[in-house]
Amino acid sequence: MGMTMTEKILAAHAGVPKVRPGELVNCKVDLCMANDVTAALAIKEFRKIGINRVFDPERIVLVPSHYAPSKDIQAAAQVKVMRDFAKEMGIKHFFELGRGGIEHILVPEQGLAYLGMLYVGADSHTCTVGALGCFATGVGSTDMAAVWATGEIWLKVPETMKFVYTGKLQKWVMGKDLILATIGKITVSGALYRAMEFTGPVIHELPMSERFTMCNMVIEAGGKNGIMPVDEVTLAYLRRHAPHTEDKWLIVESDPDAQYHSVWEINCSELEPLVAFPHSPDNVHPVSEAASLNITVDQVFIGSCTNAKLEDLRIAARLLKGRKVHPDVRLIVIPATHRVYMQAMKEGLLEIFADAGAIIAEGTCGPCLGGYFGVLGPGERCLSTSNRNFIGRMGSPQSEAFLANPAVAAATAVLGRIAHPDELDGAPKVWSLKAFAETASLAS
């Protein structure tokens, strides 16, 4: 019996020829990460171990992201603990404000992730990086402290669910819609402690930006990790961002006789953009249905580790160019990292957002977790490109959050209600996800 991609990576890092689902293995860690919410507790637990050095200061990443810049004294104190720890331990990859951003986009952007690696982060959306054909998963702060001390972690080998995407992407459909459709089918508990392996002809046509979005949201189905097959798109991304890691690459593919928990086929020809209604990512509805209900919004948020990449901003800007945000709506745009922010500035995207009436920040999670910079009040409604919309996620328990892709978000910001992008006067008649996402020019 063969192995899946996830099983092969875990076996390699456990130093054994084969693993099986349910088996407990002790694995060597290639890279680990903590942020301003989780690092302080991990540091506290690390001190209890009684050692005065970390296993490898070059394989630890520390990122202020959730409340960055610090929103209050407590947040500032937590970042200071992390900053001081990085200096004490000689940790190379501490990303100070103005040089970093949201960790799940920052880590691959900075060339720290590579094929076949084992990467753990003290944040549930660490699974984003599995789009690069590696094992990436979130852990708690206590586990992170142990990793800092030993460079190893124990894991239970997950079963793997296989998702095959066929057909042809329809207009305005993005990776966000593929993963929302998937979660809608299996529910938010449908992949509990299982690997989600994404494959099929549609996956191979997706830019890396969309692959990151899909893997980002596997945790919304309870998944242990998400993983994508390695192809020329993956290799091109890594040659651009992480050529120095090539000698470490481990390229794996699932064996033809690998055993899966289940196999799902999703026909993308039948999909239109989707909207997840409150209060769950599996409460998905077609945008055409949502648009017919005249659901007005108070705020639109284009950002988060799910949809704040340069490609996402290009698509939103294409629809916002020459238009104004509805007078009853607040539009908040937060590019994921400083590098994304700077490139968006060079391409004129930030000017488009500002001219439209948006509020722009940089490299912070912001309103995604109801932290700050756009927290919702009682009775308010937001359409967001983020990944979670449970009760109180973005602020008041009496608020509502809807989830959608950046094109739907842009159209909604202009029309003041949840809208299909084609409802905008002069909306592009021809759609190419690759061209819209990867082309800097905004010429129609």
Tens digit of pLDDT for each residue in 357-379? 999 999 898 898 888 889 999 99
Q: For 61-76, what is each residue's pLDDT tens digit?
A: 999 999 989 889 998 9
Rounded-to-integer distance, Cα 316 and Cα 209, Å? 14
End-to-end CA distance of the chain: 52
Q: For 42-59, what is each residue's pLDDT tens digit?
A: 999 999 999 999 999 999
CA distances from 264 to 20, 178, 218, 332, 422 (A): 21, 13, 15, 36, 30
Q: Which residue has the higher pLDDT, 442 or 397?
A: 397
Q: For 343-354, what is each residue's pLDDT tens digit?
A: 999 999 999 999
Taken in order 69, 74, 77, 78, is the CA torsion positive or negative?
Answer: negative
Is residue 98 predicted with pLDDT exceeding 70? yes
Q: Which residues contact 235 (CB under 8 A, 6 or more apart)?
A: none
Count how many Cα atoms sit within 13 Å of the Cα of residue 76 in the half-sphere of its side chain.
3
CA distances from 321 to 314, 331, 367, 442 (A): 10, 14, 24, 8
Question: Which domains can be identified in the chain, with CATH numbers?
Answer: 5-266 (3.30.499.10), 274-438 (3.30.499.10)
Is residue 441 predicted with pLDDT exceeding 60? no
Rounded-to-integer distance, Cα 183 and Cα 187, Å? 5
Is residue 331 predicted with pLDDT exceeding 50? yes
Q: Which residue has the higher pLDDT, 438 or 277?
A: 277
- pLDDT for 444: 41
Structure tokens at 225: 């990790």
Rounded-to-integer distance, Cα 163 and Cα 175, Å? 13
- pLDDT for 443: 40
| Spatial contact of 368 and 304, defined as CB atoms under 8 Å apart | yes
Rounded-to-integer distance, Cα 90 and Cα 113, Å? 20
Q: What is the pTM of this model?
A: 0.96
- pLDDT for 442: 57
Rounded-to-integer distance, Cα 98 and Cα 95, Å? 8
